[in-house]
Chains A and B, each alone.
Chain A
Amino acid sequence: AVRMTQSPSSFSASTGDRVTITCRASQGISNYLAWYQQKPGKAPKLLIYAASTLQTGVPSRFSGSGSGTDFTLTINCLQSEDFASYYCQQYQSYPQTFGLGTKVEIK
């Protein structure tokens, strides 16, 4: 199975910051990568698919980039509602696999 490694596993940031989360695949997955946001006690929410395509209704401060093995999720001007956990997921190779997540906490 393709292993997805996210970094960092957690970090603290302030409202208004620009933050970047990275996700590395153990083998090339082209652009078959999605990002999800999960808040405590809630289901994951799709943010980005195909590495850089924003899901309908997701604020434009979220963006994704990358191809092959290295990917990033960037949040510009962090808002209070963005403090959550974020997961990457590859869907190029069976079985689809997730990263272990990155928790963004309030500084």
Chain B
Amino acid sequence: EVQLVESGGGLVQPGRSLRLSCAGSGFTFGDYGMHWVRQAPGKGLEWVSGINWNSRTIGYADSVKGRFTISRDNAKSSLFLQMNSLRAEDTALYYCAKGRLNGMTYFDYWGQGILVTVSS
């Protein structure tokens, strides 16, 4: 059974940093692109960032480019999101999602989400 479990969320002040982690199991983690998708309270879904299987292709939404960094450790079946210079508008539930295809893709498995609240 595919499982994705996020951790590292919490309450953080504006301008500070936070690092999210996602642990994958039940599939060959290193074979798939992985992504972060977020959902602000009461709002829709927004793709944040994605990384291909070998970390050579990485993409970011314009809203986080230059502030967030995605990375992965295939040996540990783990995905990360380093979030710097956090803003109130980054407050959201952050989901780790497995891509089905290389490159542009849809998401066939999702974690349960981890809440990030940016507030003073």
Whether A and B are associated in the same complex: the answer reads yes
**Interface residue count on the B side (C-beta < 8 Å):** 20
Chain A residues near B (Cβ < 8 Å): 32, 34, 36, 42-46, 49, 55, 87, 89, 91-101
Residue of B nearest to A48 (CB): B106
Judging by beta carbons under 8 Å apart, are B104 and A44 in contact?
A: no
Judging by beta carbons under 8 Å apart, are B44 and A98 in contact?
A: yes
Judging by beta carbons under 8 Å apart, are A95 and B61 in contact?
A: yes
Judging by beta carbons under 8 Å apart, are B108 and A98 in contact?
A: no
Q: Which of B105, B110, B111, B113 contacts A45 (CB 8 A)?
A: B110
Judging by beta carbons under 8 Å apart, are A43 and B104 in contact?
A: no
Judging by beta carbons under 8 Å apart, are B44 and A96 in contact?
A: no
Residue of A nearest to B107 (CB): A46
Q: Given that A98-B45, A98-B46, A99-B44 are contacting pairs, would A92 and B104 also be in contact in the complex, using a CB cutoff of 8 Å?
A: yes
Chain B proximity of A67: nearest CB distance (Å): 16
Residue of B nearest to A49 (CB): B106
Q: Give the contacts of B86-102 with A (CB-CB under 8 A).
A: 95, 100-101
CA distance A55 to B44 in the complex (A): 22
